[in-house]
Amino acid sequence: MRKRTIFSVSVFTMIAGATSISAQASTTRSSNTAAPTRHGFFISAGLGYGSAGLNCDGCTSDRENGLSGYLRLGGTINPNLRLGVESNGWVKTVNGVDEQIGFFSGMLYVYPSAANNFWIKGGIGFAASKESDNADELKSSGVGVSAGIGYDWEVSGGGFVISPYAGYLRQLSGKITVDGSDTGVSATADLFQVGIGLGFRH
């Protein structure tokens, strides 16, 4: 419960900050500058905090905190819509066991207003989770879905952006294998992310 509370407070703080930045940016633009433009290619990478959980038929594991990040690239359809691909990951070693969760998704990034850089994202793709030690390796894979929010803070007008973000990703049901053998047990994994991204857009 404490970990979920920490995540909720982090998301609330980020949304409040993004709203404040958006309001300030809109006021400034209304007085002396044009609205931001979005066009062409973009690429971005981010790093931050991740809270991951893994559940299977008849079992529930404690959530674990770890390092989480993403890499994304794509193109702009219009000032309100971008299309891209995104890879997200989470890693941690617990008591000699290496734990990993990964997602690769096709994504839509929606900017509700062409006048500022707040965005909402959603996508679907492939997800996999793995736990391994010196003796055994457990894997599970399946369809992955994701959603998130963020804000692109432009730096010096040179195409560089700093993007605080928050997101939720979930691996839908997939079979667990142990050292390549199907166990017949279904599993799901999910990941909360909060972090800062650095990017470039044309």
Task: Express each pLDDT in 139-155 by its tens digit.
Answer: 999 999 999 999 999 88
Quick one: pLDDT at residue 136?
Answer: 87
Which residue type is seen at 9? V
Please identify, in words, the CATH class of the domain defined by 2-201: mainly beta
Q: What is the pLDDT of residues 93-107, one digit of tens each?
A: 988 889 999 999 999
Q: Using 50, 70 and 90 to split pLDDT, how confident is the model at 26?
A: very low
CA distance 128 to 200: 28
Q: Where would I find the beta strands (DSSP E) of 95-159?
A: 97-110, 118-132, 137-151, 153-155
pLDDT greater than 60 at residue 122: yes
Quick one: pLDDT at residue 36?
Answer: 61
pLDDT greater than 90 at residue 37: no
Domain boundaries, the chain: 2-201
Percent of the chain with pLDDT over 70: 81
> What mean pLDDT value characterizes the chain?
83
Quick one: pLDDT at residue 9?
Answer: 42
Q: What is the mean pLDDT of residues 65-87?
A: 96
Instruction: Please choose, from the candidates 64, 61, 69, 68, the residue with its C-alpha nearest in 3D space to the C-alpha of residue 52.
Output: 64
User: Which burial class, exposed, middle or buried, applies to 202 when counting CB atoms under 10 A from its CB (0-12, 13-18, 19+)?
Assistant: exposed
CB 149 within 8 A of CB 163: no
Higher pLDDT, 26 or 102: 102
Higher pLDDT, 172 or 148: 148
pLDDT greater than 70 at residue 167: yes
CB 147 within 8 A of CB 122: yes
Quick one: pLDDT at residue 35?
Answer: 55
- Quote the pTM value: 0.78
Quick one: pLDDT at residue 33?
Answer: 43
pLDDT greater than 50 at residue 3: no
pLDDT greater than 90 at residue 118: yes
Quick one: pLDDT at residue 19?
Answer: 43
Quick one: pLDDT at residue 197?
Answer: 98
Q: Using 50, 70 and 90 to split pLDDT, how confident is the model at 202?
A: confident
